[in-house]
């Protein structure tokens, strides 16, 4: 094995350990840290980002890659070298000063968002967001110049390697042609299917215990992770210590429950990544859309399916009490209800893509300089009205301030949610072909074969294959949005 390759693996092992510390410090900042610690924590995380950046872009690294590329490596090592080289090339495009400035601006914006969102303080938030956007544009310009692509595509590539806005426009354009009609038909159909909404209050501690019980059914390894509370649900940490969060509403237990199921999908993927390659880029999740495909698979394909809802209903009654609205048929209808709303994370799977397309179109225009931060509320209102028929004027808290992603400059992330939904539907179709007994297994409460299939086709491979190859290997074809349409039509109009 190449000495240069060994030196690179040692470097990335060190970087992985620093990333571990950064991830846990970031989790703590969003869950446990007192407000007074924000500035110091932001500075510490920025310092850590600069340290990692300088380690990765040290002058001798280029020579190591040149030598390692000539080495006799096996398939996994070659894939690992490709991922290492990609990380190095991406980092080398940015000066340390920009890395630090962006990390500090993101920490300030995220901290301010926590209080400004509840206060509906758009002007205060916009002040912080302008700095994040300015620095993100600087980053995008540097990356675009090196890659010979648009500024937005350069950021999109960080989350979804190989994807372009041209591909997204085509895929989302097709979706926009048939989704509005489907949404109207489903809403009309369900108007004749009344649903009783269980009345609260639902104590937070009881909801937490319910979430933990469902996580156990879903195979979450509590020896390597935990559940906490944050302002915005997320999955963080590292495969050996996965931290997931949710948020509770004492008048609506479904939101937290489905949030837990969603984040558990992320967590199971992380907990089952290839440990034999731990610390190396090839052991990381393939892409953001693949990550979202796992969480949406858990939440939508599995979590909102009738067999799974019937499986967990006794747990719901045990922890929250048997009350009107928790009858079997009503509970299923309640969780498959389609009703356009303002909040993305609470959206049903039929209207959800509209939330994503709206954000994608705004953030692309923002990065390309076609609009400014001050234009966001009006654009949000225009697109919300056009896509979902909803009014958000003056309601920034439930409109353009509801998400955390833009606070730290995660431009390019949002499209991966709907790509993930499409991949999830495609994977479920493939799984159903491989496991024709799946409905009977789920009805019997046996979910392990489903997880075994995901492990064999997705989880164990980490980043060994490209997204396109991984999906083709698992499902027999590249991305096919028709699977998503078929899934929605069968569940909601069938």
pLDDT of residue 2: 64
pLDDT of residue 232: 79
Are 355 and 413 in a shared domain?
A: yes
CATH number at residue 490: 1.10.1370.30
Are 162 and 297 in a shared domain?
A: yes
* 336-340 average pLDDT score: 96
Are 39 and 129 in a shared domain?
A: yes
- Does 299 qualify as catalytic in the annotation? no
CA distance 350 to 60: 51
Instruction: Supply the pTM of this predicted model.
Output: 0.94
Are 145 and 161 in a shared domain?
A: no
Q: Is 338 helix (H, G, I), strand (E, B) or coil?
A: coil
Find the Cα–Cα–Cα–Cα dihedral 262, 423, 91, 51, rounded to 10°. Answer: 20
pLDDT tens digits, one per residue of 152-196: 999 999 999 999 999 999 999 999 999 999 999 999 999 999 999
Helix/strand/coil percent split, the chain, to 5: 70, 5, 30
Are 189 and 106 in a shared domain?
A: no
Final residue of a structural domain among 126, 152, 178: 152
Final residue of a structural domain among 152, 187, 204: 152
Are 146 and 163 in a shared domain?
A: no
CA distance 426 to 454: 12
Are 287 and 341 in a shared domain?
A: yes
Show the tokens assigned to 250: 């004492």
Q: Is the pLDDT of residue 1 over 60?
A: no
Are 197 and 343 in a shared domain?
A: yes
Final residue of a structural domain among 105, 134, 152: 152
Q: Which domain holds residue 108?
A: 3-152
Q: Which of 77, 160, 263, 299 is catalytic?
A: 263
pLDDT tens digits, one per residue of 385-415: 999 999 999 999 999 999 999 999 999 999 9
* 456-467 average pLDDT score: 98
* 463-485 average pLDDT score: 96
Are 120 and 157 in a shared domain?
A: no
Are 248 and 353 in a shared domain?
A: yes
Are 230 and 114 in a shared domain?
A: no
Could you tell me if 378 and 366 are in contact, meaning their C-beta atoms sit under 8 angstroms apart? no
């Amino acid at each position: 094995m190449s000495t240069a390759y060994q030196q690179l693996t040692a470097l990335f092992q060190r970087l992985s350990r620093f990333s571990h510390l950064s991830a846990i410090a970031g989790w703590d900042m969003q869950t446990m840290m007192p407000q007074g610690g924000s500035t110091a924590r932001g500075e510490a995380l920025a310092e850590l980002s600069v340290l990692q950046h300088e380690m990765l872009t040290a002058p001798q690294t280029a020579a190591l890659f040149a030598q390692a590329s000539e080495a006799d490596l096996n398939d996994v090592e070659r894939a690992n070298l490709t991922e290492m080289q990609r990380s190095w090339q991406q980092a080398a495009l940015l000066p340390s000063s920009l890395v630090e400035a962006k990390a500090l601006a993101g920490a300030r914006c995220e901290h301010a968002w926590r209080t400004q969102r509840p206060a509906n303080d758009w002007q205060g938030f916009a002040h912080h967001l302008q700095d994040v956007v300015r620095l993100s544009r600087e980053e995008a310009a540097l990356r675009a110049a090196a890659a010979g692509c648009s500024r937005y595509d350069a950021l999109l590539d960080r989350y979804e390697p190989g994807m372009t806005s041209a591909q997204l426009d085509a895929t989302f354009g097709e979706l926009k042609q048939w989704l509005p009609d489907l949404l109207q038909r489903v809403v009309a159909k369900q108007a004749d299917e009344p649903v009783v909404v269980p009345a609260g209050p639902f104590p937070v501690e009881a909801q937490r215990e319910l979430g933990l019980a469902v996580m156990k059914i879903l195979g979450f390894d509590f020896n390597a992770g935990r559940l906490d509370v944050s302002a915005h649900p997320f999955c963080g940490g590292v495969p050996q210590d996965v931290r997931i969060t949710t948020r509770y509403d004492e008048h609506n237990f479904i939101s937290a429950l489905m949030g837990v199921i969603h984040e558990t999908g992320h967590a199971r993927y992380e907990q089952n990544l290839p440990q034999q390659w731990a610390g190396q880029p090839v052991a990381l999740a393939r892409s953001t859309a693949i990550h979202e495909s796992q969480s949406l698979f858990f939440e939508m394909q599995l979590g909102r399916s009738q067999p799974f809802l019937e499986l967990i209903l006794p747990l719901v009654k045990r922890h929250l009490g048997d009350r009107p609205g928790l009858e079997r048929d009503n509970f299923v209808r309640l969780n498959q209800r389609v009703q356009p709303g303002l909040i993305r994370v609470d959206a049903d799977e039929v209207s959800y893509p509209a939330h994503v397309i709206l954000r994608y179109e705004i953030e692309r225009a923002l990065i390309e300089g076609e609009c400014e931060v001050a234009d966001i509320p009006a654009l949000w209102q225009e697109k919300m009205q056009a896509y979902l028929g909803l009014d958000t004027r003056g309601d920034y808290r439930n409109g353009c301030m509801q998400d955390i992603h833009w606070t730290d400059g995660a431009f390019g992330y949002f499209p991966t949610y709907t790509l993930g939904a499409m991949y999830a539907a495609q994977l479920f179709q493939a799984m159903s072909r491989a496991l024709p007994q799946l409905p009977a297994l789920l009805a019997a409460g046996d979910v392990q074969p489903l997880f075994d299939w995901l492990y064999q086709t997705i989880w164990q491979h980490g980043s060994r294959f490209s997204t396109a190859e991984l999906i083709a290997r698992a499902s027999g074809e590249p991305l096919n949005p028709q699977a998503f349409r078929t899934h929605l039509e069968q569940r909601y109009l069938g």
